[in-house]
Amino acid sequence: MFGTPESRPTASGARYYVSLRSPQAMGLRLALSSPGVPVADMAHAPAFKALQQSVLSALVHHKQLFKTTPSLESLLALSPPFGPVLSGGSVLYSPTTVFQSDSRMSVPCFADFVLEGLHVSRSLIAPVFSIRFVEAPAAVELDFADDGLEEVADVPEASGVSGNVVLLTDPAVATRERAARKQSVKEAFLLATAARERAVERAHAFLDEYDLSDNESGFSEFMSDEEEDEEEDESS
């Protein structure tokens, strides 16, 4: 089921990429508003969970990767959910899940996920999915009668569209695209909030370990008044 593990060392230790000899398509039809930004839907969580269970059950027996056979429970403990999860009232994919897509993919469209392989380290097992085009949204065509319609001059004709056919975006596709863009904004705020919290924690850790000299500035230019007050309390 798996190919030969490829060693990809990182600063945090050994890391391997294990490819699937036969990549597994999930058979989903997901709305894609922009390349590499799939819409997370909890309705698909059971399919991801079943795939995760199946793949990790097979990974247990990968003798080229493990010196001793691990238990399925130990692999599951190292593997965050492959699919969508609820986080702070929003539906998100785990930040450890990797999505690979062709930037030239025409969007909006419907796409499927294909499991290509796994990133494996001593502390984490994460999936690598490719995003494959399934189909374009259907265009809505309206045919107007030629008789009894008032002619309007100086109306430019769209390139490649006949004069009596108007192409409109499917309302359902427009709704999904709006939801996807709103979700991407929420995800951006969540990531920014998490990054700021980590930065503040590092600032506090620094001040716990080092004393600031009289002419040395701290991190006040990057922190709110409340965070600055905490900084001063810790440095005093």
Q: Which 3-state string (H, E, C) describes 14-70?
A: CEEEEEEEEEEECCCCEEEEECCEECCCHHHHHHHHHHHHHHHHHHCCCCCCCCCCC
- Lowest mean pLDDT segment, chosen from 15-24, 50-59, 86-95: 86-95
Residue 168 predicted with pLDDT over 60 = no
pTM of the predicted structure, to 2 decimals: 0.56
Task: Note the Cα 164 to chain centre separation in Å.
Answer: 41
- Range picked from 47-61, 120-134, 145-159, 200-214 for highest mean pLDDT: 47-61
pLDDT of residue 232: 58
Residue 34 predicted with pLDDT over 60 = yes
CA distances in angstroms from 49 to 29, 77, 80, listed in the order given: 17, 13, 10
> Using one digit for the tens of pLDDT, what is the confidence trace for 71-129?
999 999 999 999 888 888 888 888 888 888 777 777 778 888 999 999 999 889 999 99
**Contact yes or no for 193/200 (Cβ under 8 A):** no
Burial of 32 (0-12, 13-18, 19+ CB in 10 A): buried
pLDDT of residue 156: 56
| Side chain identity, residue 167 | L
The predicted model gives 182-197 an average pLDDT of 79
